[in-house]
Amino acid sequence: MSLPAIIECLIFAADTAVSLDRLSEMLPEFDRDDIRTALSGLVGSHEARDGGFQLVEVAGGWQFRTRPDFQQYVVRHVKTKASRFSQSSLETLAIVAYRQPLTRAEVEHLRGVDCGGVLKSLLEKRLIRILGKKDIPGRPLIYGTTKEFLEVFGLKDLKSLPTLKEIQALDDVPQYERQEELPLGQGEGTAEEDTPSLFE
């Protein structure tokens, strides 16, 4: 039997991303390097095919996903309501993703509002998880993101999160054009004050 075909079936049948380690466990009769090579071949063959879906590395594993270019057509077919996030949920999730591990108090300090309900909602959606307790008085819970978070946002790992510079590049008006609107002659700020914050 063809190793690429076997791997393709296993990934296709899985409901979550399948890691190389998991594939090696399921296929002990094959060498790990051969499995890795077969994965690379599958990625290439699906890219060359230029079909409606592709094999991508996400959340520490491999998963078939529809191509983003065809999202509008997939939405017409899928009847289930897509998950929507409130602004407060997205802000809280971003703080956890970029600053993890951290406590509820630390999240609330950065956001400036109570986040208990939002954190509970993110826990229920399995986008964040409790990593343990912080070794300080009161032993508060520590939060971090989950594998499901990586899958939902199509990230290979946490290092794939966009940088502050990449986020600023998405602005409609370039930074240098906005600076003309800043009040002048009111004293110069420090370099730290002039540095934009991701969570402002």
Predicted TM-score of the model (pTM): 0.51
pLDDT tens digits for 136-147?
888 899 999 988
Confidence category of residue 37, pLDDT binned at 50, 70, 90 = very high
**Mean pLDDT to the nearest integer, 55-83:** 75
Are the CB atoms for 90 and 98 separated by under 8 Å? no
Report pLDDT for 159: 84
Compute the Cα dihedral for 166, 167, 168, 171 and give only its sign.
Answer: positive
Q: Judge if the upstream peptide bond of residue 101 is cis by omega within 30 degrees of 0.
A: yes
> Is the model's pLDDT at 68 over the cut of 50?
yes
Same fold, 3-77 and 87-152: yes
What's the rounded Cα separation, in Å, for the pair 88 and 105? 16
What CATH number belongs to 3-77? 1.10.10.10
Site of tokens 């520490």: 60
> Is the model's pLDDT at 78 over the cut of 70?
no
> Is the model's pLDDT at 76 over the cut of 50?
yes
The CATH architecture that domain 87-152 belongs to is Orthogonal Bundle (1.10)
Q: Which residues contact 4 (CB under 8 A, 6 or more apart)?
A: 38, 41, 42, 45
pLDDT tens digits for 94-115?
899 998 999 999 999 888 888 8
Are the CB atoms for 150 and 156 separated by under 8 Å? yes
pLDDT tens digits for 141-196?
999 998 888 888 878 788 888 877 776 666 654 444 444 444 544 444 444 444 44
What's the rounded Cα separation, in Å, for the pair 128 and 106? 15
Structure tokens that stand for 118 in this block: 């939002």
- The residue extents of the domains of the chain are 3-77, 87-152
CA 144-82-13 angle, to 5 degrees, is 80
